[in-house]
């Protein structure tokens, strides 16, 4: 079993999960760790949801990272990496095209596949994407992804996983402690950190194909 606690790993970021990367760039680890702002119920549910999606229905897609290992005791998911995080590239003011010439087309296809799977993936900003050594765009972090059929979702199941801006937004749309993710999806797609308004354009195309009602 892979051991993220060894000296061969480095902590990259802390958010809803702790993100580790192997120092040889071969793997990343998504660790769902219980803490005051992220209670055990949410951490465990996030781990299970993420694991079930990447090893289940999404594993057939080329943009789904290759699953390597898991640790149920520590709620950790290990994925093959060998690439570059999109956020790191953008933070260095480097063009994504240098690493993946057709990244916009790949991103559009990924989003269209979410639509086909009837899945809301709210973690759509660059920090949840990487480009592998073969110039393929990959996405991870499905811990608060819910299907159309699960709507509306109880807010206590995902509220601790949202950004401050997302949390403020849902209070305008949630009812009786539940939220239809079609509203949150529209918000994140139109307030993303991707360059050139690319995600807004993709969102318009997603729902121009099969109509405007994402829950239909």
Instruction: Give a three-class secondary structure readout of 116-131.
Output: HCCEECCCCCHHHEEE
Are the beta carbons of 43 and 75 closer than 8 angstroms?
A: yes
Scan for tokens 């802390």, then name that residue: 14
Helices (H) and strands (E) in the chain, counts: 6, 12
Report residue 98 as tokens. Answer: 């240098």
Using CA atoms, how far apart are residues 194 and 179, in angstroms rounded to an integer? 25
Are the beta carbons of 76 and 4 closer than 8 angstroms?
A: yes
Which residues of the chain fall below pLDDT 70? 1-6, 72, 209-216
- Whether this prediction's pTM lies above 0.85 is answered by yes
What is the enclosing helix (H) or strand (E) of 24?
none
Using CA atoms, how far apart are residues 133 and 141, in angstroms rounded to an integer? 20
Q: Which domains are present in the chain?
A: 9-210 (1.10.510)
Which tens digit of pLDDT belongs to each residue from 145-188? 999 999 999 998 899 999 999 999 999 999 999 999 999 999 99
Which pLDDT belongs to residue 157? 87
Radius of gyration of the chain (CA): 17
């Amino acid at each position: 079993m892979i051991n993220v606690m060894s000296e061969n790993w480095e902590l990259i970021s802390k958010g809803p999960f702790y993100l580790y990367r192997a120092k040889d760039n071969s793997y990343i680890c998504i660790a769902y760790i219980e803490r005051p702002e992220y209670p055990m119920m949410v951490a465990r549910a996030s781990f299970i949801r993420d694991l079930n999606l990447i090893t289940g229905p999404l594993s057939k897609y080329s943009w789904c990272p290759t699953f390597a290992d898991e640790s149920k005791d520590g709620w950790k998911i290990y994925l093959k990496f060998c690439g570059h995080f999109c956020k790191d590239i953008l933070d260095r003011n480097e063009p994504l095209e240098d690493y993946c010439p057709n990244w916009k087309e790949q991103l559009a296809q990924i989003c269209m596949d979410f639509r086909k799977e009837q899945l809301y993936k709210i973690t759509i900003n660059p920090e949840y994407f990487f480009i592998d050594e073969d110039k393929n765009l990959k996405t991870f972090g499905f811990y608060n992804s819910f299907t159309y059929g699960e709507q509306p979702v109880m807010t206590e199941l995902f509220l601790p996983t949202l950004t401050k801006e997302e949390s403020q937004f849902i209070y305008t749309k949630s009812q009786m402690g539940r939220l239809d993710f079609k509203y949150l999806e529209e918000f994140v797609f139109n307030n993303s950190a991707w360059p050139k308004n690319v995600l807004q354009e993709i969102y318009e195309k997603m729902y121009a194909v099969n109509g405007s009602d994402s829950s239909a």
